[in-house]
Amino acid sequence: MASLTPDFRFGNFVASIVWVLFVVLALVTVLILPIIFFTLFYIPLPVVDGQVLTPYLFFSMMVDPSRTLPIIQFLMHTTLFKAAVFPGFVFAALIAAATIFVERKLLAKMQLRVGPLYAGKVEGILQLLADGLKLLTKEIIVPSGADKPIFWLAPIMFVATAAAVVALIPVAPGWVVADVDVGLIAVFAILGFFPLIALLFSWASNSKYPFIGGLRALHQMIAFEIPFFLSALPVVLLSSSLNLTEIARSQYMIWNIFLLPINAFVFFISSLAELERIPFDLPEAESEIVAGWLTETTGMIY
């Protein structure tokens, strides 16, 4: 009986590796380097060794680490780097991935699930990477009756709203994308868009299950926004400021969680409800056949 799997040939394996390396090298040479080169024309570059840095001089200095370090330090303090890498989008994505990994490990220990615990022999971390890669590469299916422009626009609005909130949160002294005087009010104002986007997205799916889930999410988010906002008011009174950087600086001696434990508890519970996490996952209902307002989402949209 013939084997159902093709024979493994080492030559084919090496050829595939060489082909991948060739594609990566071609992309870097043809696409990535030209994009970096043209971007440097629109970014004000620093003065290095008494001369204004140009894109041509920048690439010539890349082979000299001692001359590259001042350039890297300059680029790290640009608004573009803060927004894109740290403490912006990439940093927030890594924090989210680490949080999901810890949550899945905890649930796997409670439910004795093998995958997140042992897959890959590195504390289950390869299971998280495999699931993320699978999710990003799965086919995106748009329902035939959906409002396609809104269906495609809503996930982008979600990401943009989350990125706007991240831009206001300081992670270290001097490391914040947008240091706004009324940062706390701005955060609450931006978070107010999430229920509307969820409802709009569920309606655009043109299916009763997402729409019911969207209504559940809208009611739950709005209901818990009131204690969510009120729990933060004593923090403003203690710090005498609405600026998030000033609020963080006011906790240098003692954290507010020790001074306001009840408010911290209410804030935490309200955050779980706003994010629809267990035990407030009724709008999303992952344990049911459908997934609430995310029922019609697939692939990278999910």
pLDDT tens digit string along 168-220? 888 888 888 888 888 899 998 888 888 888 888 888 888 888 888 888 888 88
Residue 180 makes CB contacts below 8 A (sequence gap 6+) with: 168, 186, 243, 244
Q: CB of 143 within 8 A of CB of 295?
A: no
User: What is the value of pTM for the model shown?
Assistant: 0.70
Is the CB of residue 143 less than 8 Å from the CB of residue 207? yes
pLDDT digits (tens, 9 = 90+) for 25-68: 888 888 887 887 777 777 777 676 666 677 777 767 666 666 66
d(CA 135, CA 231): 36
Residue 267's pLDDT is 92
Q: How far apart are CA 157 and CA 297, in angstroms?
A: 15
- The pLDDT score that the predictor gives to residue 1 is 46
